[in-house]
Structure 1
């Protein structure tokens, strides 16, 4: 594993371009082409790709910092950058022949997909015939490959299937109130043959293919919320300072007192820092690879959910104290508020399932 690839340094430029194009991305409900091009040029797609295929085999800590850096400018751009890296890592589960198909032309390939087992696959000579519909596939309009999950007949489990562009259709279905620029549309696969070499047992992800998927699943989502909350803090602090300079916050004057703004700043910045520390630890655990214990997996899952709750709390507090201008539709702060709350609904960041997993061992010991 490479310990430093320059991804974080390059992420700053991508975040800035994403910020400038954010309004267009929201209107079009997908990233603009120049943002996608810079995302690939910056190295997100090749971050987890094996060196032998032109990738850099980068680490999770660097990945998480880079995604958060991009999200300070545009959460939707950061989310798609995370997808490009994370789904490429999933595709490395394929047999070597399948990996060569995906990355034979270079490592900067935009792989998207879904791990939800909602498709159907039946055996065919030399492979499988796959059909199904997978919703919420972020970045799919610009994708080169898609990885989808389908159920096998007769209770045979589920498998992952990699399909090149042209083997699947894209249905325009994305109308989310937050993360509008992600273009999270629907993939349609209609009885397409997939060779065995482009397929893998879904269980490989859980059994420790480089690192168990449970230990890192939330890491593909939470850093985007962290960066968006940081960006919101900068916006809110700047806007509030200008409001105070115009005479707001005076005793007996209109609006909240100065102490109210001080409390919002202090508590929200503290929650953002606490979330950052939780995610940094989770990423450092992930960087240890398949040696992660079940207890550490449960703690990581808890920390992804807990850090996201902290970020939602911080952003909602700032939004409530932002005044009419900050809450105007389309303002950068209003967009960050929508984006962070939207990210928090992802299943990988849901607190109750994380609590069940984390508490299962201690409570099981007590019950015994």
Structure 2
């Protein structure tokens, strides 16, 4: 297992990090960061190849999402959530999918919360609702959301166009500032039937292994890897801070080095476990177009374990990093804030 830096050219990492503080000030990704995403077609990483997407394998996705999280937390998070939403293309009606993914700047954002209401009307649905925490929403071209179907217990997943939604500036957090994870709403909008899709093996439109992999474990693995990447970034920054401490005793130096080594080893162990679990589950999925329960459990468990280990490693090292770590204008502090904000995601909070 290599360091995430091996997946990103030095020039890409430099560009992403050079604009990270400006992106925070903008409260959304910097135009140069966005242009990199578009130029590399990364927002189409999980989009079916038949629609012009990259259709990466799950191990490729997880590795790249870890690397992007290592480069910058907000950049990695937007890539993970928005490219991940591109995976829905495997379930969308072909005519609609062909249309939206032909846009070179296509970006899907949305929410899994069931906070909308839909009513059947004229071969479509009349919808109203509001959804929070939609990462990348400020430059999204398509929005996906869950709605209750009036008069039933059924939940519908629908796609909205940019012109149909209203953005609401509700993202006020300690970190992940540049994700611009604001809310969006629709008010009495009619959506045609073609924009309804269902995330279910029986509803797959593109018959490829990536779209037979269960969404829950796909989401867990990609978020866990992203958080792991942020922790690696913190360790890199912490190593610089520790090396700068020259006016300390040899005993103190040894203590710091022992803490750093232990944190690094723990993170490596849990990163390796996640990548191994993902690879095993993926190979089974490729061969069988389904996955056994124990392999799915391994992915879920290792994702959560990595998220916990990442947080623990960073918090163990933080007190040794000096005042630079507490200064919101420094890189190491931004990484610390990003990781602690990302760790609040409910999907990785409780053990399976």
Question: Take 2:195 and 2:321, find their aligned partners in 1: how far apart are those partners?
Answer: 50
Specify whether residues 212 and 342 from structure 1 end up closer, same or farther in structure 2 by C-alpha distance, changes over 3 A only.
Answer: same
Question: Take 2:254 and 2:40, find their aligned partners in 1: how far apart are those partners?
Answer: 42
CA deviation after TM superposition for structure 1 residue 201, in Å: 2.9
Q: Secondary structure at the match of 1:155?
A: coil
Question: Take 1:206 and 1:317, find their aligned partners in 2: how far apart are those partners?
Answer: 46
Quote the residue 1:309 is aligned against.
308
Quote the residue 1:127 is aligned against.
124
Q: Deviations over 1:253-279 (max 9, x none)?
A: xxxx12211211111101210221122
Question: Take 1:319 and 1:335, find their aligned partners in 2: how far apart are those partners?
Answer: 12
Specify whether residues 325 and 8 from structure 1 end up closer, same or farther in structure 2 by C-alpha distance, changes over 3 A only.
Answer: closer
Question: Take 1:206 and 1:10, find their aligned partners in 2: how far apart are those partners?
Answer: 35
Q: Report the RMSD for the aligned CA atoms in angstroms.
A: 2.2
Quote the residue 2:334 is aligned against.
335
Question: Take 2:124 and 2:35, find their aligned partners in 1: how far apart are those partners?
Answer: 33
CA deviation after TM superposition for structure 1 residue 33, in Å: 1.6
Q: Secondary structure at the match of 2:129?
A: strand
Aligned partners of 2:82 and 2:135 also within 8 Å:
no
**Mapping for residues 200-219 of structure 1, pairs under 5 Å:** 200-203=197-200, 209-219=211-221
Q: Secondary structure at the match of 1:221?
A: helix
Q: Please report the TM-score for the alignment, with normalisation by the length of structure 2.
A: 0.90
Quote the residue 1:222 is aligned against.
224
Quote the residue 2:207 is aligned against.
none
Aligned partners of 1:112 and 1:147 also within 8 Å:
yes
Q: Deviations over 1:3-56 (max 9, x none)?
A: xxxx97457544332211111122222111221121122222111212221112
Q: Secondary structure at the match of 1:69?
A: helix
**Mapping for residues 1-368 of structure 1, pairs under 5 Å:** 9=7, 13-106=11-104, 108-203=105-200, 209-243=211-245, 246-251=246-251, 257-288=252-283, 289=285, 290-352=289-351, 354=352
Aligned partners of 1:14 and 1:42 also within 8 Å:
no
Aligned partners of 2:221 and 2:300 also within 8 Å:
no
CA deviation after TM superposition for structure 1 residue 127, in Å: 1.2
Q: Secondary structure at the match of 2:54?
A: coil
- Stretches of structure 1 that go unaligned for 5 or more consecutive residues are 1-6, 252-256, 355-368
Q: Secondary structure at the match of 1:166?
A: helix
Aligned partners of 1:119 and 1:133 also within 8 Å:
yes
- Stretches of structure 2 that go unaligned for 5 or more consecutive residues are 205-209
Q: Please report the TM-score for the alignment, with normalisation by the length of structure 1.
A: 0.86
Give runs of ≥4 in structure 1 deviating > 6 Å.
205-208
Specify whether residues 115 and 287 from structure 1 end up closer, same or farther in structure 2 by C-alpha distance, changes over 3 A only.
Answer: same
Aligned partners of 2:225 and 2:306 also within 8 Å:
no
Question: Take 2:253 and 2:344, find their aligned partners in 1: how far apart are those partners?
Answer: 33
Question: Take 1:132 and 1:32, find their aligned partners in 2: how far apart are those partners?
Answer: 29
Q: Deviations over 1:314-349 (max 9, x none)?
A: 111111211222222232112111211221111111
Q: Deviations over 1:274-297 (max 9, x none)?
A: 221122023214534342112222
Question: Take 1:345 and 1:206, find their aligned partners in 2: how far apart are those partners?
Answer: 31
Aligned partners of 1:312 and 1:341 also within 8 Å:
yes
Specify whether residues 130 and 15 from structure 1 end up closer, same or farther in structure 2 by C-alpha distance, changes over 3 A only.
Answer: farther
Specify whether residues 282 and 344 from structure 1 end up closer, same or farther in structure 2 by C-alpha distance, changes over 3 A only.
Answer: farther
Question: Take 1:339 and 1:329, find their aligned partners in 2: how far apart are those partners?
Answer: 11
Question: Take 1:294 and 1:11, find their aligned partners in 2: how far apart are those partners?
Answer: 37
Size of the aligned set, in residue pairs, is 339
**Which deviates the most, 35-44 or 283-292?**
283-292
Aligned partners of 1:11 and 1:67 also within 8 Å:
no
